[in-house]
Amino acid sequence: MSYRAGSNRARNTVLTPEVYDLFARSEAYHDAHLIKPDPVLDAALENAKKQGIEVEVAAAPSQAKFLHLVLLSMRAKRVLEVGTLWGYGAIWMARALPEDGEVVALELDPVSAKVTEENAAAAGVGKKLRVIVGPALTSMQAMEPDPSAPYDLVFIDADKRNDVNYFVQAKRLLRPGGVIVVDNVGRRGRLPDEDCDEPSVIGTRELLKYIKNDPEVEATTIHTVGEKGFDGILFAYVK
């Protein structure tokens, strides 16, 4: 899917157009072999655009499929998604769950929440996707871990400044041996720049510092290149 290329190129001002094109073409080549055309998700995208959602910041297809495959490998049943936008990643994840599985998606914007519900219903996974509207941190703090139905995986993809707060809550709600995936931790390579005080960069630095000092977590960052430029996802295993 090339729908994001234009504006993502503009987001990645640090890359020359040639380097950006190299990343985007390489990813598109792989996707053309590994990810099937998906009219249902294309229609979901159109629905989101029509309703004014900023569609460009959805997970890339390759990353959404990665989450799907992680869930299949884990035989996961329950997923918590922090920030859902228009349901793109949530639909990919719901498709990996059994009929009695569930994605609970936390979303601040009521329009995003409505679009996500519409898209999930049209994709045939409406029964597996529940959206909770409101500030995600408040929603997470109000949740009690359910020992009979804990989350197998939490996907964090909301306001990056709060990543460490979301991560702490995710750990509380996750089953032992569960996984937390955090999107967009590459931040266009800005983390080591001491003079960079972008809130999202500060949020990601705080997350890494927290994990470094947490003996219950083993994690790694997979740096990514593609139509979204230079970024990364963090994969954390919680003992």
Q: Is 169 left (phi over 0), alpha (psi -120 to 50) or beta?
A: alpha
Min dist. Cβ of residue 11 to ligand DHB (A):
6
Min dist. Cβ of residue 150 to ligand DHB (A):
25
Could you give the CA distance from residue 233 to residue 157 in angstroms, rounded to a whole number? 10
Min dist. Cβ of residue 24 to ligand DHB (A):
14
Out of 102, 152, 163, 183, point to the residue binding Mg ion (CB under 5 A).
183
User: 187 contacts which partner out of ligand DHB, Mg ion, none, CB within 5 to 8 A by kind?
Assistant: none
Min dist. Cβ of residue 75 to Mg ion (A):
25
CA angle 209, 210, 211 (to 5 degrees): 95
User: 27 contacts which partner out of ligand DHB, Mg ion, none, CB within 5 to 8 A by kind?
Assistant: none
Out of 47, 184, 200, 204, point to the residue binding Mg ion (CB under 5 A).
184
In which residue are the tokens 């947490």 written? 214
Could you give the CA distance from residue 154 to residue 239 in angstroms, rounded to a whole number? 14
31 forms part of the interface with Mg ion (CB under 5 A): no
Could you give the CA distance from residue 214 to residue 210 in angstroms, rounded to a whole number? 6
Cα 47 off chain centre by: 20
User: 119 contacts which partner out of Mg ion, ligand DHB, none, CB within 5 to 8 A by kind?
Assistant: none
Helical H segments across 136-217, by residue range: 136-141, 163-173, 199-212
Min dist. Cβ of residue 224 to ligand DHB (A):
10
**Sole window of 86-94, 100-108, 168-176, 179-187 interacting with Mg ion (rule: CB under 5 A):** 179-187
Q: What is the DSSP letter of 127?
A: G
Min dist. Cβ of residue 239 to ligand DHB (A):
27
157 forms part of the interface with Mg ion (CB under 5 A): yes
Give the interface size with Mg ion as a residue count (CB under 5 A): 3
Question: What residues make contact with ligand DHB under the rule CB under 6 A?
Answer: 11, 57, 59, 157, 183-184, 228
204 forms part of the interface with Mg ion (CB under 5 A): no
- Closest residue to ligand DHB, judged by C-beta, is 57
Which residues lie closer than 8 Å to 141 by C-beta, 6 or more apart?
A: 169
User: Taking a C-beta distance cutoff of 8 angstroms, is the pair 92, 67 a contact?
Assistant: yes
Number of H helices, E strands in the chain: 9, 7
Site residues, Mg ion (CB under 5 A): 157, 183-184
